[in-house]
Amino acid sequence: MSLSQILTPSIQSAIQALFDITVDKIEFQTTRKEFEGDITMVLFPLLKMIKSNPAELGNKIGDYLVENVGEVARFNVVSGFLNIVIADRYYLNFFNEIKDNSKFGYVTPNHEEKAIMVEYSSPNTNKPLHLGHVRNNLLGYSVAEIIKASGKKVYKTQIINDRGIHICKSMLAWEKFGYGETPESSNLKGDKLVGKYYVEFDKAYKAEISQLIETGKTEEEAKKQAPIIIEAQEMLKKWEAGDEKVIELWKMMNQWVYDGFAATYTNLGVDFDKYYYESNTYLLGKDVVQVGLDKGVFEKDPDGSVWIDLTDEGLDRKIVLRSDGTAVYMTQDIGTAIQRVKDMPDVGGMVYTVGNEQDYHFKVLFLILKKLGFDWASSLYHLSYGMVDLPSGKMKSREGTVVDADDLMQDMTDTAKQISEDLGKLDSYSDEEKAKLYKTIGLGALKYYILKVDPKKRILFNPEESVDFAGNTGPFIQYTYARIQSIIRKADFDFSVKTIVEELHEKEKELVKQIELFPEVIQNAAQNHSPALIANYTYDLVKEYNSFYQSVHILGEIDLTKKIFRVQLSQKVAEVIKSAFALLGIEVPERM
């Protein structure tokens, strides 16, 4: 229970006793740094009901709290604000309650409640994962873990885009230029091999376009008449018709990609509970169109196409079925959402982790599902995020200028190695220990740099800046965790006993207050689908700990009681860092 929740009924009782008035809500805020206090009550809303000035009102309530509420030690009134100082024993009692709870902040999922499905990654099987996918995966995985920690059952899923003209481009290029090359023969990950032929297709396509333009064709004509694009379109028709040879090629090359993706996901530290494939779902939703027509949700045009008119909701008309009876992406997404609830009936909401270029699409999708009468449609959320930019500019898959996810992770590990070696702190480590630590630091830097930013904001990714060992970075927080582990290893006395100090140093109190916020931060992060709240809370906790570390003696403290408490406090900070970073998918090293 938070401090505001504890104080609210006491303040309501004070107002009732002093002024014979019932108040439903008390407004609190954080006490400003320049004033003494642990929490501040805003008095202005009460002045409408109580004829008094702020100072008089604040002093009356403050006196009542000091006399009647054990948690309140003293107070001061500044303008319309009652700054309340909480007694040390409140924080000491709180600390003793949570000291040995390794899952502090986490709520055990209630499996009787509806589950949340979180979709992320959802790549195309014609190229390896890149930097944009990294942000998507990190966001989706972290949001799923945060929602789980907030007390919900969670399913992690993705839909793999394994069909369409873009897939056929890679297949056709491999047939033409591959000469039987395989991941084994080329010693290349399967997703990279298939991506290589996607680029080869684009090169051949551009060359044919140039040749056709030289013969007098317009660029638009050349793009349509290039032999290689016509062949790719024919291959897609054969795939849709179930041509055995094309299907076998498709299965073989897709498996190469799946194996490559699996290795990248393992390296990145993300996982999934359920997979969907567009090749199985692209016809879903067509049956729902007739249901929508019967309900009057959809309307049919004279040419036979089916639409939904959302102009009254500030949107536009959206097609859900073409005149030739073929589905569009919207139809497929409607059908897939419905299918997911059929597959897992305990799902009561979904989170779609997709870039902000699809904002409009998801507004329409959610509105259609609501109009079709699905009660879970009100619990759908688009986790919209901004793109990741590089100093060198935008990435282009067709031209092979993307930042490959595997290469990025290796580069981050190499950067961590270089910086760590420059600092010269790993002389006693074995080569195996060093390699593991470099990866932990490098991936921690990458994940933290991306997740500390509000999902909706665009990111300019700077690898060197992210691996800095100072400031708001992953390595800085990891280093603080490792420093605490060193303190714990050096503590040659029993610090598992109950805390019996009676007074807190100012820095101890501030640190306990910061720890106390953790459960509320998890709930807020879950409600806002924002790992950034967890990341920046952890940075604030680490800053508070380093201020404590610089201000008081820990192992050098003469008073054994104080020394025990400070080691316990340090240990709890480390536990919260580890728990918070686990929600971000980041590991913490025992030594650095």
The pLDDT of residue 449 is: 95
SS3 content of the chain, % helix, strand, coil (to 5): 55, 10, 30
Residue 130, strand partner residues: 404
Q: Say if residues 448 and 456 touch (Cβ distance below 8 Å).
A: no
Question: Measured on CA atoms in the order 254, 259, 263, 265, is the torsion positive or negative?
Answer: positive
- pLDDT score recorded for residue 401: 54
pLDDT tens digits for range 38-96: 999 999 999 989 988 999 999 999 999 999 999 999 999 999 999 999 999 999 999 99
Q: Which letter does DSSP use for residue 273 in this model?
A: S
pLDDT at position 398 is 45
> What is d(CA 395, CA 374) in angstroms, rounded to the nearest whole number?
39
Report the b/e string of 35-67 with b at 16+ CB within 10 A: eebbbbbebeebeeebebebeebbebbbebbbe
Helix (H) or strand (E) holding 348: strand 347-355
**Can you give the residue ranges of every domain in the chain?**
3-86, 164-280, 405-583
Q: What is the mean pLDDT of residues 208-224?
A: 96
Residues 422-442 pLDDT 10s: 777 677 888 899 999 999 999
Q: Give the pLDDT of residue 500.
A: 85
Q: Is 350 helix (H, G, I), strand (E, B) or coil?
A: strand
Predicted local confidence at residue 392, as pLDDT: 64
pLDDT score for 268: 97
Instruction: Categorize the per-residue pLDDT at 150 as very low, low, confident or very high, splitting at 50, 70 and 90.
Output: very high
Quick check: 101 pLDDT over 70? yes
Contacts of 520 (CB under 8 A, 6+ apart): 2
The total number of residues written for the chain in this structure? 592
Q: For the domain bounded by 3-86, which CATH number is listed?
A: 3.30.1360.70
Superfamily for 405-583? Isoleucyl-tRNA Synthetase; Domain 1 (1.10.730.10)
The token pair at 208 is: 């044919």
Q: Cα(47)–Cα(54) distance, rounded to whole angstroms?
A: 7
Given a cut of 90, is residue 517 above it in pLDDT? yes
**pLDDT at 394 exceeding the cut of 70:** no
Q: At what angle do helices 518-528 and 131-149 cross, to 10 degrees?
A: 120
| pLDDT in the model for residue 3 | 87
pLDDT band for position 110 (50/70/90)? confident
Cβ contact 35:82 at 8 Å: no
What would the pLDDT profile of 433-489 be if each residue is shown by its tens digit?
Answer: 999 999 999 999 999 999 999 999 999 888 888 888 889 999 999 999 999 999 999
Average pLDDT over residues 194-203: 96
CA-to-CA separations, 7 to 13, 56, 158, 448, 492, in angstroms, rounded:
10, 20, 44, 35, 40
Scored b (16 or more CB within 10 A) or e, 364-393 reads: bbbbbbebbebebbeebbbbbbbebebeee
Measuring CA to CA, how many Å separate 265 from each of 261, 402, 475?
6, 18, 22
pLDDT at 393 over 70: no
Amino acid at site 315: L
Q: Residue 403: is its pLDDT beyond 60?
A: yes
Round to whole Å and give the CA distance between 116 and 81. Answer: 40
Residue 547 CA to residue 279 CA, distance in Å, equals: 56
